[in-house]
Structure 1
Amino acid sequence: MKYTTEIIINAPRAEVIEKMDSVENLKHWQHGLLEAKPLSGEVGKEGSTMRLKYKFGKRDMEMIETVLKNNLPEEFHATYDTKGVHNIQKNFFEELPKGKTKWISHSEFQFSSLALKVMGFLMPGAFKKQSKKYMEDFKNFVEQGKSVAEQ
Structure 2
Amino acid sequence: MKFTCSINVKKPKLEVAKHFEDPEALKQSQKDFLRMEHLSGNQGEAGAKSKLIYKKFDLIETIIHNKLPDEFYAKYEHKSMTNTMRSKFTALNDNETALTAEIDYTEFKGFFIKLMAKLFPNMFKKQVDKWLLRFKSFCEKQ
- Class of the TM-score when normalised by the shorter of the 2 chains: over 0.9
> Alpha-carbon deviation of 1:83?
0.6
1:4 and 2:19 are equivalent in the alignment: no
Paired residue for 1:148? none
Aligned positions, number: 141
Residues 23, 35 of structure 2: 8 Å contact kept: no
* Structure 1 spans left out of the alignment, 5+ residues: 146-151
Aligned to 1:23: 23
Quick one: which of 63, 78, 90 aligns to 1:82?
Answer: 78
Instruction: Determine the C-alpha separation between the residues in 2 that align with 1:29 and 1:4.
Output: 18
Match of 1:114? 111
Alignment partners' CA distance in 1, 2:18 and 2:61: 19
* 2:75 paired with 1:69: no
Residue number among 131, 134, 137 corresponding to 2:131 in the alignment: 134
Give the partner amino acid of 2:86: K
Shift, 1:21, TM fit: 1.4
Deviation at 1:72, TM superposition (A): 0.8
What is the CA–CA distance in structure 2 between the aligned matches of 1:115 and 1:75, rounded to whole Å?
Answer: 33
Unaligned runs of 5+ in 2: none
Does the 8 Å CA contact 2:10/2:96 hold for their aligned counterparts? yes
AA paired with 1:122? L
TM-aligned CA deviation for residue 103 of structure 1 = 0.5
2-structure distance, mates of 1:28, 1:8: 17
Q: How far is the alpha carbon of 1:137 from its aligned partner?
A: 0.6
Please report how far the alpha carbon of residue 87 of structure 1 lies from its aligned counterpart in structure 2 after TM superposition. 1.0
Return the offset for 1:35.
2.1
Structure 1 position 22, deviation (Å) = 1.9
Question: Could you tell me how far 1:30 is from its partner in structure 2?
Answer: 1.9
Paired residue type of 2:72: F
After superposition, the C-alpha distances for 1:65-93 in whole angstroms (9 at most, x for unaligned) are 00001011111000110012001101111
Q: Which moved more, 1:30-39 or 1:63-72?
A: 30-39
**Segment of structure 1 superposing worse, 109-118 or 122-131:** 109-118
The 2-side partners of 1:24 and 1:49 are apart by 18
1:28 is displaced (CA, Å) by 2.3
1:4-36 CA-to-partner distances (Å, cap 9, x unmatched) read 000000000011011111234321222211221
RMSD: 1.3
